[in-house]
Every structure is written in C-alpha cells, then in structure tokens.
Amino acid sequence: MRRILFFMFALSLAVSCSAAHADGIVKRVQKAVAISTLDRPGTHPFHLKAMLAPSLDRDKDSGRTGLVEIWWKSPTEWRREVSCPGFHQVQIISGGQTWQKNDGDYFPNWLREITDALMLPVPLSADLYKQMDSGEVKQLPGRTLVRNGQETHTIGMTHLSWTILSSNGEVQKGMGASIALNDQTGLLLYGGGFGWSGEFHDYQEFHKRQVARTVSGGSPEVTAKIIILEDLHAVQNGWFTAGADGDPYSIQIEFPDELDLRKNLLPQDPTPWPPTKDGPLEGVLTTEVSIDRTGAVRETGTIVSDNQSLNDAARTRIEAMRFKPFVLNGAPVQVLSRITLAFKTVRPDTPVAQ
C-alpha cells in the first residue's frame, strides 16, 4: 500500500529513529485496537454501511468494488450483507448459530479483509502478541516540511515491525508485518500481517468508540468509506433469526500453516524458471495464497522475493497449483495460507533486447 511504503521509507531514513524492544508498545496497541473495534462487548448497537472502490484510478477495472452493510446488536447477534461483482452474501449470527445465503461459490479474500478491518482493525491473539513481542520499535517524530512555499506537517508515530516466517519444509522466507500508532492521538495509523491489513483515516467518535470512517487495504488497494454509522433503530421481525432457506454448507475460511497446506497439494510438473539478466540466480520467494472450496488458487498476494524479476513467473506457477479440497466437519472450506518456493535459473544465452 502506497502510504505504508512511504512511512516505512521515511522511517528507514529518519536519523532520530532508534530501535528498541517491543515491551511498551504492545499495551498501546491493545488500547488503540480496543477503542476502535466495533465488534466487542459494550459497543452500542449500530447500523453501518460502507462503499468499496479501488483507491487508484489505474485499478478502476480490477473489479474491486462493492458494499458492506451490518446491523449489529452484540458480538453474538448481528446481520451482515457483503457484495462485489460475482459474489453476494447475507450472514446472520444468532447465539451459537450461523446462517448464510451465498450467491457465488467464492468469498474473495480482498473483500473479507477489508470487511474485517471495518469491524476489527487488528485481530489480536496470543500468536500475534508473541510476534509483536519479537518486533523492533522505531520512533519518527513529526516534522514541518516546506514545499513550493506550503507547509506540510508529518505525524509523529511509533512503528513496530516484525517478520513472519514460512517454509515449504526445505527452505524458508520471511514476510514483513507492522503496526503504526499516531503518537498524538494514540490511534492506529496502519498495520498489516498474515491475513489482515488496513490504513485508518477520518476517525470520528461513536458512543465512546473512535471509528475510522475511511479504511484502505489490499493490493490492488481498495478503500472502504463508511457512509452510514448510526444507532440501530427498530428492525423487522426475524431480522436476526436464521431462516430455513440458508445454504446447507456455509462458506468458512481456515488459516493453516504452509506445511499443512502442502499435504493437499496435487502433483504438478512446473515449467523451468525463465532466464533472468538481473539479480540472484538462486533464492527463495513467498506470498499469501487464497484457495477456494474446490482446491483452486483464486488470489495471490504481494510476492516477497530474493529476485523480483521472477515474480511474474512465480505468480503464474502458484496460480497453476491445484489442491485436494480442504474439509472441516464434513464440509469443504476456503483456505488462506502461504506458499514458499525456491528458484534456480540462469542468465540468458543472448543479450536481452532493451
């Protein structure tokens, strides 16, 4: 995401930045997440509606447009409707029951991620706390810059970064994760890790919660703009009741590690890596991968590679992978995981045309 890359670049250049252990920032992250999370006990019942669209005009044909609408009474009683080209879902959570009606067989991962970020900016867990504890903290003080005669004020922030490793059983590769807090307000600026990401802007108060009315994430980047956030008024009878006409198998998403993922990988005969004139001839790369309920790869994330000139070939190879369907409690499920590959190639025999 462009703003995250800018901030990380600025952090790497800031002379005044200093690295430290992450002990102190974890509590600050907990506080920032708690005050911005809508899906938690004590939140005032609400109705939320957000419109989704590509952040950049160049991505206008990406198909990443849609709608998220939520009617929420409590963490165990709510109704949500999400839609994008090719997919529409109504989901009701009532007590211990989940009811879904889906138009489309695949819940796009980009849509899931931006929808989650509206309600739960950071999915805090014991595993994430452990990752953050191993991270590095950097401080970037706010500054005033003058460009073309105009003053621009940058935000003082605390930035926490760490690495998440993934392995195919033979080699491993790390993927970066981070969280940044606004030092003035204590609120989240941005964050991202395995299966989640977001940039948070335009905070407004809603019944003692600080809610970001603009949330961006993914690649190509999508921006969700909250156009309605209001008290939940009277709703029609049965609005939060699971009906009899739901899908027999709801869409569930599991997050196995790569070694478990590869147990379902079907044999394939990949083509050789293409010659490259630049960068290392041997190395490792990794990316997130979203797999549908039939075992087909539907989305790949940003590729982190020792040689970026091979990224297109790597994406083609990963998208051609096929898996046995992943089954939970007798029903196929979607999967989000990582794929790590080693590469070995050669230089072109002849000069590459300029």
Domains of the chain: 2-141+153-230 (no CATH), 253-344 (3.30.1150)
Q: How far, in Å, CA of 245 to CA of 82, rounded?
A: 18
Q: How far, in Å, CA of 342 to CA of 53, rounded?
A: 35
Element (H, E) at 32: helix 23-36
Q: Is 45 exposed, middle or buried (0-12, 13-18, 19+ CB in 10 A)?
A: middle
And the tokens for 224? 């969700």
Q: How far, in Å, CA of 59 to CA of 48, rounded?
A: 26
Give every CB contact of residue 238 below 8 A, 6+ residues apart in sequence.
none
Model confidence, pTM: 0.90
List the one residue out of 275, 239, 243 whose CA is nearest residue 351: 275
Amino acid identity of 93? I
Q: How far, in Å, CA of 269 to CA of 303, rounded?
A: 21
* Residue environment code for 52-91, b if the CB has 16+ CB neighbours within 10 A, otherwise e: bebbeeebeebebebebbbbbbeeebbbbbbbbeebebbb
pLDDT at 354: 46
Query: What is the block-wise mean pLDDT of the chain (354 residues), using blocks of 10 residues?
Result: 44 40 83 97 97 96 97 96 98 91 97 98 95 92 67 84 97 97 96 97 97 96 98 89 86 97 95 94 98 98 97 97 96 98 90 47
pLDDT at 227: 98
And the tokens for 286? 């990794």
What is the phi/psi pair of residue 123, to 5°?
Answer: -80, 80
Neighbours of 162 (CB within 10 A): 19
